[in-house]
Amino acid sequence: MNIFVAGHKGMVGSSILRALKKRGYKNIITKNKKDLNLLDQNQTYKFLKKNKVSSIYIASAKVGGIMANINYPAEFLYENSMIALNLVHNAWKLGIKKILFLGSSCIYPVKKSILNEEDLLTGKVEPTNEAYAISKILGLKLCESYSNQYFKKNGTDFRALMPCNLFGPGDRFDEKNGHVIASLILKFKKAKKNNLNEVIVWGSGMPKREFMYVDDLADAAIKVMNLSKKKFDTTTGMHSNFLNVGYGKHYSILTIAKIIKNAIGYKGNIKFDKSYPDGVYQKLMNSKKINKIGWKPKHDFKKYLKKIAQNAYQNKKIN
């Protein structure tokens, strides 16, 4: 049983890799991006066949914050779609039975404040990350379609998780293209080191976001991958193959900025630039289904946000 963690250098993939090793898994296969181009169907097929892969965690993705999604929609749509297409289809061709695909809460309609699995495809997604959302819906539906069509024939069992926003070790610290928490940490870090009077935060600060420490997602991923088919189907419902994974609480961007500011010890002011888009006002996952199988987040949001911010400021490795 050879387990391939696709995207093991990223925040999610590296967390899954750590979690598998912690649980004693020895048969884990990884490959650097420069040595395996998942956008190449033939190369992907040869790699999976040569390494006799039996299950795949698909954590490989082109990711970024709101401005990256606005500026590079073509790359977000093409690259993420091709990763899903090549891994899912080639896995099926080679008789690989198990896949866990990692999606995103952005797949849901923009007008929904509480995000239920049943809300998928009932309305328009947020325009600022539409391309990324479409690619993730594609990946989810690929897994669902192959499983529904081929499980009875050859045991194809491809599953998916839709997590809320994530933070933790391995995040991309980039003011313009990174996720919101990593971007804010970097801004406050630079402001304190350079004795700046204020930190400018994009948007109004009023939108609320649900964040979860990435290691909680890794725990959920391994738990769901190892559920019996009967238990998984009972939990998700007829013909559905995915579950929400959320923290259960959300916080305004203003609150998050203040937590980071205090953790780093920055004494200046926070100024919001309303010329930048806010995105969806509120996104809170309904995670009741995955809670029923015994999974709940273990890492306190505020505690670990402070830890991440402090370690980043001190240039410490975050575990």
Residue whose C-alpha is closest to residue 219's, from 168, 265, 256, 276: 168
Per-residue pLDDT, 318: 46
d(CA 139, CA 178): 22
Paired strand residues for 158: 99
C-beta separation of 39 from 244 below 8 A = no
For the stretch 133-186, pLDDT in tens is 999 999 999 999 999 999 999 999 999 999 999 999 988 777 666 678 998 999
Residue whose C-alpha is closest to residue 170's, from 25, 36, 5: 5
Continuous H helices in the chain? 11-22, 41-50, 66-71, 73-93, 130-154, 180-193, 214-225, 229-236, 253-264, 288-291, 301-313
Domains with residue ranges and CATH for the chain? 2-167+210-245 (3.40.50.720), 180-208+248-284+299-313 (3.90.25.10)
C-beta separation of 50 from 205 below 8 A = no
Extract the residue ranges of the chain whose pLDDT is less than 70. Answer: 175-178, 238, 316-319
Active-site residue, from 57, 72, 108, 132: 132
Residue partners of 296: CB distance under 8 A and separation at least 6 = none
Residue partners of 213: CB distance under 8 A and separation at least 6 = 166, 167, 168, 297, 299, 301, 304
Per-residue pLDDT, 281: 79
> CA–CA distance from 169 to each of 54, 69, 232, 255 (Å)?
28, 22, 29, 21
C-beta separation of 68 from 177 below 8 A = yes
d(CA 257, CA 185): 8
Task: Count how many Cα atoms sit within 13 Å of the Cα of residue 319 in the half-sphere of its side chain.
Answer: 3
C-beta separation of 42 from 49 below 8 A = no
**Amino acid at residue number 265:** G
**Amino acid at residue number 269:** N
d(CA 80, CA 90): 16
What's the pTM value of the predicted model, to 2 decimals? Answer: 0.93
Per-residue pLDDT, 240: 82
> Can 213 be counted among the known catalytic residues?
no
DSSP secondary structure code for residue 283 in this structure: E
C-beta separation of 215 from 288 below 8 A = no
